A and B are shown apart, each in its own frame.
Chain A
Amino acid sequence: MSVINLQNVKQSFDKLSVLKGIDLKLEPGEVLGLFGHNGAGKTTTMKLILGLLEPTAGSVKVFGHNPHDSNFSHHRYRLGFLPENVSFYQQLTGLEVLAFFAKLKKVDSKRCLELLNQVGLGNAKDRKIKTYSKGMKQRLGLAQALLTEPSLLLLDEPTVGLDPIATQEFYVIVDELKSKGCSIILCSHVLPGVEKHIDKAAILSQGQLKAYGSITDLRRQTNLNTQVVFDGCFEIDELSTQLGHTIDRNDEGFFVVSLSSEEKLDAIKLLMEQPGLKNIDTRPPSLEQLYKYFIEQDHQVITFPHEVTSPNEVFEIGGAK
């Protein structure tokens, strides 16, 4: 049974249509990356899954039940959520805040200390939240989401404010939970580093899923070129003619040639025969490139809603400087 099943879900607020028919499925132990620009509908999708909103049309099922139902309550013990920009209770200490959430989920208070150590807040547990940095609040947020060893974890911008080492530690936790069968949704627009940890990616734009599937699937759909990066001593012009593509140099000083997936293998064979070759590497299109491709494929320029900022204002502010 799917942990999450969204069928043709539509959501509108007044006249503003935020989601225009979304289908999503998440199986046990799967990690889904939900990507999209600001206002694409990521947070709305999360809220629907959490049962905080009722869809205008379509059906939302979590653990096979409607999360907006009042009798969904006992399934909430199995559910962990890390909201974006949460700032807890300023006057309480880290441990007190976590103990409060533990009590609501009927979790033993011993688990709190264990979790605080796991997220690296062991030394700060008795300090008041108002002295916490953004990264520390983020870690505390993560700790409360993990209180019950959840079967479903929703993380909204989980790595914002975390330093590179903490980010790495975060992904270790994600991989560990996944191996225990926990389904996870990572909602983000920070893409580098996330692709190794997700099974599926969903790219949302203007309330619609522009792409949905494993990264390999998405690569196949796009036909974006793979970059072959190599280093050594060559007769560049001759090599370029043999490959049938121009060779560039990248920022690191290596040679780069951009090839379609069919051309790739022949080109690598050719390069391997070169006596001057010192190093060779292939770089398939990154998630960031895929994301850009799917967002821009129908040539939609990302426009901000008018009431927030009009492009003219941005230009004027920039021009005035």
Chain B
Amino acid sequence: MKASIAVAQKEFKDGLRNRWLIAITLIFAIFASALSWFGSAAVGSIGFSSVANTIVSLSSLNIFLLPLIALLLSYNAIVGEDEDGTLLLLLTYPLTKAELLLGKLIGHTAILAIATIVGFGSASLTIAIFAEGVNLVELSTAFGLFIFSAILLGMIFISLSYLISSWVSEKSKAAGLALIIWFFFVLIFDMALLGILVATEGQVHSELFPYLLLLNPTDVFRLVNLVNFETNGTGLLSIASEQSFSLSGLMLSMTIWIIVPFALAYYRLTKRPI
């Protein structure tokens, strides 16, 4: 475990040095503040509208941004060390492959978590201070849940990154695959589901269909942030509103989404030719 902490510290320091941490934090803070103030510009008003609106639009933005950042942050975790020759060296140290991978997960998660907490936290603070008539309890629970689930979403994509990274032999392939994964979950998956729904004229098993959403971690993330609001999701998510998922069920599904790719990444790492 101590070895994992050492790896985590190294990854964190690396993230600080590359300015990853500061860049991600700024991106989150700027987008979150902009969205909370101008999110309702489309309906003709400027300024903070409601917690529900803010969280819904923030989570729609986040499913584009966060997975991309998480993938970029960690796609070269294994393949990069391999190309530099440090993977070979590390494996001659008293450090197991599991400890190495776990340490990396802790380090990368720490970077993403700090950026998420500071970035979105500062946005919620500005709302609390400057907006009028805000229910502070509602605001802080909604943002708390949002930030927590965003960190989980980040971890899911970091795990997926490790799976890619321990599988392929070149950095450029890992980068390409990371973009494909992003494209698939953020754009293709929902479109394909909608396509099936339209093509079959809604005749698919209506009880089963909402569960298909659980196969896409970005949809799970959006569902988590809808649970506490009256608002129904737009587009595809509206089909899930008939089938209400419990918060704990959704969290469990996110946890599984972290563990399974991570375990597969470990398996690939043990099979990786050194």
Q: Is B129 an interface residue when CB atoms closer than 8 A count as contact? A: no
Q: Is B14 an interface residue (CB 8 A)?
A: yes
Q: When each residue 1-15 of chain B gets 1 if its CB lies under 8 Å from chain A and 0 otherwise, what string results?
A: 011001101100110
Give bound CA distance, A100 to B89, whole Å. 13
Question: Given A81-B89, A88-B86, does the pair A70, B96 have CB atoms closer than 8 Å?
Answer: yes
Task: Decide if B203 is an interface residue (CB 8 Å cutoff).
Answer: no
Query: Is A135 in contact with chain B by the CB < 8 A criterion?
Result: no
Residue interface mask B140-156, A partner, CB < 8 A = 1:
00000000000000000
Given A91-B17, A91-B18, A92-B17; A104-B95 close (CB under 8 Å): yes
Which chain A positions have C-beta within 8 A of B273?
A: 13
B274 at the interface (CB under 8 A from A): yes
Q: Which of A31-39, A72-80, A260-268 contacts B (4 or more CB under 8 A)?
A: A72-80
Shortest Cβ distance from residue B84 to the other chain A in the assembled complex, whole angstroms = 5
Q: Which of A76, A87, A91, A100 contacts B94 (CB 8 A)?
A: A76
Q: Are B86 and A76 in contact (CB under 8 A)?
A: no
Nearest chain-A residue to B15 (Cβ)? A91
Decide if A96 is an interface residue (CB 8 Å cutoff): yes
Are the C-beta atoms of B89 and A92 separated by less than 8 Å?
no
A86 contacts the other chain (CB 8 A): yes
**Closest Cβ–Cβ distance, residue B246 to chain A (whole Å):** 40
Contacts of B3 in A (CB 8 A): 103-104
| Cβ 8 A contact of B14, one of A47, A51, A89, A101 | A89
Q: How far is the CA of A86 from the CA of B3 in the complex (A)?
A: 21
B61 at the interface (CB under 8 A from A): no
Q: Digit string of B48-87 for contact with A (CB within 8 Å is 1, else 0)?
A: 0000000000000000000000000000000000001110
Which of B13, B91, B94 is packed against the most chain A CB atoms within 10 Å? B94
Task: Mark A90-133 against chain B: 1 for CB-CB distance below 8 A, else 0.
Answer: 01100010001101111000000000000000000000100000
Indicate whether B27 reaches chain A with its CB closer than 8 angstroms.
no
Q: Does A21 contact B (CB under 8 A)?
A: no
Structural contact, B84 and A87, CB atoms closer than 8 A: yes
Does more than half of chain B's interface fall in helix, strand or loop, or is it mixed?
Answer: helix
B94–A104 CB distance below 8 A: yes
CA distance A100 to B92 in the complex (A): 14
Query: Once the chains are docked, how many angstroms separate the CA of A223 from the CA of B88?
Result: 41
Minimum CB–CB distance from A216 to chain B (whole Å) comes to 33
Distance in angstroms between the alpha carbons of A103 and B91 in the assembled complex = 14
CB distance from A46 to the nearest CB of B (A): 10
- List of A residues within 8 angstroms of B17 by Cβ: 91-92, 128
Q: Does B93 sit at the interface, judged by CB under 8 A?
A: yes
Let me know if A105 and B93 touch, CB within 8 A: yes
Q: Is there an interface contact between A81 and B92, defined as CB atoms closer than 8 Å?
A: yes
Q: Is the CB of A52 within 8 A of B96?
A: no
A85: Cβ under 8 A from any B Cβ:
yes
Residues of A within 8 A of B92 (CB): 50-52, 76, 79, 81
Residues of B contacting A92 with CB < 8 Å? 10, 13-14, 17
The residue on B at minimum CB distance from A97 is B10
Q: Which residues of B contact A88 (CB under 8 A)?
A: 84, 86
Q: B-contacting residues of A (Cβ < 8 Å)? A: 13, 47, 50-53, 70, 73-74, 76-77, 79, 81, 83-89, 91-92, 96, 100-101, 103-106, 128, 144
Contacts A105-B94, A128-B17 aside, 14 further interface pairs with beta carbons under 8 A come to A47-B274, A52-B92, A79-B92, A83-B85, A84-B85, A85-B85, A87-B84, A89-B86, A91-B17, A92-B10, A96-B13, A104-B93, A105-B93, A106-B2
Residue numbers of B with Cβ under 8 A of A are 2-3, 6-7, 9-10, 13-14, 17-18, 84-86, 88-96, 273-274
- 9 residue pairs bridging A and B, Cβ less than 8 Å apart: A50-B91, A77-B94, A86-B86, A89-B14, A91-B17, A96-B13, A100-B9, A100-B10, A104-B94
